[in-house]
């Protein structure tokens, strides 16, 4: 079965760029009607969708973060990545990667597989 695993630094200094990678195992990142997404959750708070990428390379970003976010995909490594620039303490959160499956014929549109999450702290 497909599994996702986030990796990257757990501590980032203010004004620097947060970089995370999500490795997909048990299946090809290029197959199927999947969008590969990033979602974050500050401690004790709710979930915020950051953005997504299709294997074609097309992206969508949350307008609230769009100026600072870049999501890319490396199909040869079966990975996709998140970069968030000019971070502040408000970006401290658990970051999840997730697969969004879109199947209009069956109305199956959902974040059906998630990574375990990785905590990123922004602090000097």
Q: Which is nearer to other proteins, 10 or 63 (CB)?
A: 63
The number of angstroms, rounded, from the C-alpha of 123 to the middle of its chain's C-alpha atoms is 21
Q: How far is the CB of 124 from other proteins (least distance, A)?
A: 27
Regarding 49 and contact with other proteins (CB under 8 A), the answer is: yes
CB of 20 to other proteins, least distance (A): 14
**Stretch of 7-15, 23-31, 62-70, 77-85 contacting other proteins, by CB under 8 A:** 62-70
> Contacting other proteins (CB under 8 A), which of 56, 63, 67, 90?
63
Q: Which residues lie below 8 Å from residue 79, measured CB to CB, with a gap of 6+?
A: 21, 22, 23, 24, 29, 73
Q: Does 36 engage in binding with other proteins (CB under 8 A)?
A: no
> Does the footprint of other proteins cover residue 108 (CB under 8 A)?
yes
The residues with which 40 forms a beta bridge, in sequence order, are 48, 95
Q: Token pair 């996702």 is at which residue?
A: 4
DSSP 75: T
- The radius of gyration of the chain's CA atoms, rounded to the nearest angstrom, is 14
Q: What number of chain residues touch other proteins (CB under 8 A)?
A: 22
Cα 110 to Cα 114: distance, rounded to the nearest angstrom: 11
Site residues (vs other proteins, CB under 8 A):
46-49, 60-64, 96, 98, 100, 107-112, 114-117
């Amino acid at each position: 079965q497909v599994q996702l695993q986030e990796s990257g630094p757990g501590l980032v200094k203010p004004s620097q760029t947060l970089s995370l990678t999500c490795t997909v195992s048990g299946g090809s990142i290029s197959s199927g009607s999947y969008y590969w997404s990033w979602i974050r959750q500050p401690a004790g708070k709710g979930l915020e969708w950051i953005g997504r990428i299709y294997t074609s390379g097309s992206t969508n970003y949350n307008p609230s973060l769009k100026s600072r976010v870049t999501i890319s995909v490396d199909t040869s490594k079966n990975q996709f990545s998140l970069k968030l620039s000019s971070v502040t303490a408000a970006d401290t959160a658990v970051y999840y990667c997730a697969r969004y499956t879109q199947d209009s014929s069956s109305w199956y549109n959902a974040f059906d597989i998630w990574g375990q999450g990785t905590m990123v702290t922004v602090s000097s």
